[in-house]
Amino acid sequence: MKGLFITFEGTEGSGKTTIIEHLYQQLIKEGYAVMKTREPGGSLISEQIRQVILDVNNKEMDALTEALLYAASRRQHLKEVIIPNLEKGYIVLCDRYVDSSLAYQGYARKIGIPKVYQINKFATDGKMPDLTFYIDVAPKIGLQRIKNNQRNQNRLDLEELSFHERVYKGYQKTAKMFFDRYRIIAGNRPIEAVIQDVMEEMTVFLRNHHEL
């Protein structure tokens, strides 16, 4: 059986990592072959590129350089991790994918969503997710959560609020572009309620998939 490629998107502090962990544990409990990974990163080379992208010292990074580095990291991750596991029949849960580049570099960095989409279509051979959970959290709330959790801040966390608001608008545009695979989950609520909604949507998706 061919695996399923499930991605999770959202602004900084949306709770994706926690949600993925809970879903991962639940799917294992239910007997599914499942793995979790992240972008940028997920493989040795991709993690090295991640360090360059997120290094707080790299303030001079050009927007297009950033977009190309994300695409390069994604390519390696896809070839080395995602596709081999999908071919083994795994459900692959991935923290960020192409949509992040569209929202962050395409819209927020003002390169243009179509241009960044073309870069990523080339990098991924057009491979897109089967399902995307978008955790909808207002940027102010997400950034406050990062401060409260005392997470180490990366280069993107340190951007002005206006940048994160543009990212949020960029995601609204990607959600319309790919409405057929998007599941929008209200993320401003307690994390338990958000996890519950994701679990329910996932159950419905798997049931429908098995009936095909």
pLDDT in tens, 53-102: 999 899 999 999 999 999 999 999 999 999 999 999 999 999 999 999 99
Q: What is the DSSP letter of 191?
A: H
SS3 of residue 133 by DSSP: strand
Q: Which residues have a Cβ under 8 Å from the Cβ of 56 and sit 6 or more positions away? A: 153, 154, 155, 158
What value does the mean pLDDT take over residues 33-55? 96
- 157 or 52, which is more confident? 52
**Strand, helix or coil at 163?**
helix
Give 49's contacts (C-beta < 8 A, 6+ positions apart): 40, 41, 69, 72, 73, 76
Residue 178 pLDDT grade (very low, low, confident, very high; cuts 50, 70, 90)? very high
Helix/strand/coil percent split, the chain, to 5: 60, 15, 30
Going along the chain from its start, the domains and CATH numbers come out as 4-211 (3.40.50.300)
Q: Count H helices and E strands in the chain, helices first.
A: 9, 5
Q: How far apart are CA 193 and CA 53, in angstroms?
A: 33
CB-CB contact of 54 with 154 (8 Å)? yes
Cis peptide preceding 40, ω within 30 of 0: yes
The 10s digit of each residue's pLDDT in 88-105 is: 999 999 999 999 999 999
